[in-house]
Structure 1
């Protein structure tokens, strides 16, 4: 069996990186692919570069659309895709020549609908950012229940991001990336993993991620980023509490939300720029999270009195306990 793989590449203001990205996909050892370049209204030479590559390679098709953001571009690619599996590659990143071959092989061998590949994180000059032995991704077949807690561990974003993965197209039935959100991957990762049920992880570094490129989304709009993340965590909590076997993960999700809620109120870069309406919404979401322990209720009540007071009391207690 030689399934068709749809590789979706959102494109916006990346003209100096785009050829490297496209070439890495074209040169895959696995050849039965279609490459969907989604020009998200890019104002530079990216549209022309996309069209040039489409003339060079019949497997490439280009979507030119008005700028709608990363989620909108990915969604447009999903709608256009004809493949049995989907794969996302960000246009300022690139992939190893064996990535798709290895992921397809593991998907077929283990009869799973989702495969996660390890990644190599580099800066703009190509130097490694994180040591490979620190990667949280280890080779094996895992259930969704086993992998979900890893989202909150060190470098948990390796599991969250959309682009180092192979997805059976059925996983995106009725699921799309939320429009206009910065942490778009955070909103859907739990639903996708839960739908997949079993997931294969590959420990070889197949995806090359260029870490926090200057001017990238991850380097801007800090307050919106924090608020979107909080909303994503809240929606994750609401999804998980409907699944009995995810009760432990629900408790972890609530704890992470409260930690990040405090950051919104206490971190100078966030507290000084966030609006009263944003802070009110975040507090309301946490108030609606049920299942709080007695300790969580005490911390929450102290927080309502004063976030700084709650934080100081917690810090003092930790010091007393050594």
Structure 2
């Protein structure tokens, strides 16, 4: 097979503690035909200096220094300025598994639109292997129903996936979105994919952070999620019934994040009655009402099954208790 170049795009903002690990995981790959585009997004720590150090010692590294414009702007800049036939998105907190690009590259003679793999979810003292299939390798065409492209573990992120640059075409990340921007991008792309390949090996180490912004109380999150889900809804309106059902699953996943990590977050100091009022606002929101009322509960993960059943019956105190248990369990398990 003729050599195919892979462009690896890394948005960077104040990542000095993890950046060297991230960059080294790319440059030490057995697969050598890469360009590594490091896009500094206005960092105020030593991230830019670290990037420059690698740029000076490896001709495959290209550093871009921008003012702070957000992760979507950085990724769009990378898409527009890369030269590889394929694009791989990598976050500066995370790292590539040894030999990952070599294994992925072996599938490229089939010219897939997207290649995605399993990954490791890294906690403080342990990791969890995340997969969606028992198969070692699976090839999906646009006509096959077996692959559900809206599975939240796959749809919700762009990291750890390889995209054919020509397939991306004029699609770009929506820079007006602060949440679910990866999912919105993937919804638009995947509905046009003719060939996708899934490899059941962990190519990527995703670092779970309990201090992530989506796990902290933010009164603006409801509006931000609603804005993203409205955009996604525009895409799924013309899709099949199965795919719309899968969209409802995604809505319920967002609902769970809002309830567990935002409304009933430990650092939300509002009273229970104030929290209950916010919860009722979500119930009456057309996007969430549609998802909660129409989702097939049997298709939800177990914790979300319980949550959605309680939401349909407006059992707010039990939802509150469930959230407390979830937060305590998370602190114990995800260290």
Sort the TM-score into its range (normalised by shorter chain): 0.7 to 0.9
Q: In structure 2, list runs of 5 or more residues that go unmatched.
A: 297-309, 319-335
SS of residue paired to 1:191? helix
Contact 1:107 1:114 in 2 (8 A): no
Residue number in structure 1 paired with 2:30: 29
1:164 equivalent in alignment to 2:160: yes
Residue 18 to residue 265, structure 1, CA distance change in 2 (3 Å): closer
Residue 202 to residue 227, structure 1, CA distance change in 2 (3 Å): farther
Residue number in structure 2 paired with 1:175: 171
Contact 2:85 2:165 in 1 (8 A): yes
1:242 equivalent in alignment to 2:238: yes
Residue number in structure 2 paired with 1:142: 140
Residue number in structure 2 paired with 1:231: 227
Q: CA deviation at 1:164?
A: 0.9
Q: CA deviation at 1:150?
A: 6.0
SS of residue paired to 2:17? helix
- Where in structure 2 are the equivalents of 1:193-204 lying within 5 Å? 193-204=190-201
Q: CA deviation at 1:117?
A: 1.5
Q: CA deviation at 1:157?
A: 2.0
1:311 equivalent in alignment to 2:314: yes
Distance 1:80 1:196 in 2: 23
SS of residue paired to 2:184? helix
Once the two structures are superposed, residues 103-152 of structure 1 have per-residue CA deviations (whole angstroms, 9 ceiling, x without a partner) of 121122x3312100211111245x21x2x3x6224421123564763644
Residue number in structure 2 paired with 1:300: none
Distance 2:91 2:195 in 1: 25
Q: In structure 1, list runs of 5 or more residues that go unmatched.
A: 296-306, 316-322
Q: CA deviation at 1:232?
A: 3.0
Distance 1:99 1:70 in 2: 24
Q: CA deviation at 1:240?
A: 1.8
Once the two structures are superposed, residues 247-298 of structure 1 have per-residue CA deviations (whole angstroms, 9 ceiling, x without a partner) of 222134246536855985894448957998x9589824468x69x87x9xxx
- Where in structure 2 are the equivalents of 1:272-291 lying within 5 Å? 272=274, 279=281, 283-285=285-287
- Where in structure 2 are the equivalents of 1:1-322 lying within 5 Å? 1-108=2-109, 110-125=110-125, 127-128=126-127, 130=128, 132=129, 135-137=131-133, 138=135, 139-143=137-141, 146=145, 149=148, 151-152=150-151, 156-179=152-175, 180-212=177-209, 215-220=211-216, 222-243=218-239, 246-254=240-248, 256-257=250-251, 260=254, 267-269=263-265, 272=274, 279=281, 283-285=285-287, 310-312=313-315
Once the two structures are superposed, residues 13-61 of structure 1 have per-residue CA deviations (whole angstroms, 9 ceiling, x without a partner) of 1101100100110111111100000000000000111111100111111
Residue 71 to residue 111, structure 1, CA distance change in 2 (3 Å): same
Distance 1:229 1:182 in 2: 6
Residue 191 to residue 122, structure 1, CA distance change in 2 (3 Å): same
Segment drifting more, 223-232 vs 50-59: 223-232
SS of residue paired to 2:172? coil
Segment drifting more, 86-95 vs 214-223: 214-223
SS of residue paired to 2:314? helix
Contact 2:150 2:243 in 1 (8 A): no
Once the two structures are superposed, residues 177-216 of structure 1 have per-residue CA deviations (whole angstroms, 9 ceiling, x without a partner) of 122412211111122222222210111111111112x544
